[in-house]
Amino acid sequence: MELRHLRYFISVAEELNFGRAALRLHIEQSPLSRAIKDLENDLGVQLFERSTRTVNLTTAGEVLLKEARSMINGAQHAREKVHAAAHSDKNPALRVAMTDGLAQQRLMQLLCQCRVCTPPLAVSLQKTTNEQLQESLLNQEADLGLSLCRDMEGEICSLPVWRDKVSLALPADHALCRQESISLEQAAAHHLIGYDEKLCPEGYRAIEFILDSQALSIQMEISASGQEEMLLKVGAGYGLGFVLSSHPEQFLSHRVVTRPVDGCEHNVITYALFLKTGAPESAMQLVKQARRIGLLD
């Protein structure tokens, strides 16, 4: 029983007419009739009841139609998986390790560019801590890193890929939401949610740098292990937090809104990190795409 015979059978079964089925298959009617006869002989059953005017499926034919469609779909699925595996062997996905707090809008733009470039650039993302990112690069378990922190071992170099302003995340019912922008001095009058220095050092340092640049001594009263926990606490009304301005509003809970920080010109920089000994060509292609998004190229 050949797949070709099954395709012929499906066409006749769906058309219930040998002439129309032959036209659909772009073959003559006589080889189609022979193929169906060969299939019936192979199975030892009659698949169609034929008359001078009509063609109808037998009970056995109805069963085969269901099975044949499944077999053809299975064969196509197997072919696609084999081709995908062969393509993957030639062009393995670029392994990118990223830390918490990166600008989601920028990442979406970057992945979109990777998908539509020629040839498409397959990317495998892995969320990690800054320490684990460094180990992954040194152990060659990652091809590239994306982080808010550039302080790495001597074997790792960095390039800035985009810059972001900082916004305040507030509970949707907070009194400050009525303002178009909020100063750090105003924010400091309320509970502020920062990042744990050990669990999210890149976020901790970014906020610390912002406050130092504004010459403000502000105590972060509540700690979070990362951006997700910070936003949860903001939505629950524990206090105010800091996010990157390019973080899309639609990704936030309806309980959280953002406002620009008035008078704060400091930029938070996201860096691409890679080994000085060399990164794959695809990794540098991704860095180039990221710098274009950040208008740094």
Residues of the chain with pLDDT under 50: none
- Quick: pLDDT tens for 26-35: 889 999 999 9
Check whether residue 115 and residue 234 sit in a common domain.
no
Dihedral sign computed on CA atoms, order 273, 230, 166, 197: negative
Check whether residue 289 and residue 152 sit in a common domain.
yes
Q: Which amino acid is at 103?
A: A
- Tell me, what's the pLDDT at 117? 83
Check whether residue 16 and residue 73 sit in a common domain.
yes
Check whether residue 185 and residue 258 sit in a common domain.
yes
In angstroms, how far is CA 152 from the centroid of its own chain?
A: 27
Q: Which amino acid is at 210?
A: I
Other beta carbons within 10 Å of 118? 5
Q: Which amino acid is at 290?
A: A
Check residue 157 and report its DSSP letter.
E
3-state secondary structure of 92: coil
- Tell me, what's the pLDDT at 259? 93
Check whether residue 226 and residue 255 sit in a common domain.
yes
Domain boundary among 56, 89, 122: 89
- Tell me, what's the pLDDT at 205? 81
Which residues form the domain of 13? 3-89
* Separation between Cα atoms, residue 83 and residue 116, nearest integer Å: 20
Check whether residue 66 and residue 210 sit in a common domain.
no
CATH no. for residue 227?
3.40.190.10
- Tell me, what's the pLDDT at 149? 82
Domain total in the chain = 3
Check whether residue 172 and residue 255 sit in a common domain.
yes
- CB of 35 within 8 A of CB of 5? yes
Plot region of 99 (φ>0 → left; ψ -120 to 50 → alpha; else → beta): beta
Check whether residue 75 and residue 101 sit in a common domain.
no
What value does the CA radius of gyration of the chain take, rounded to a whole number of Å?
A: 30
- Tell me, what's the pLDDT at 199? 80
- Quick: pLDDT tens for 192-220: 998 888 888 778 888 887 777 766 677 78
- Tell me, what's the pLDDT at 175? 93
* Separation between Cα atoms, residue 173 and residue 152, nearest integer Å: 41
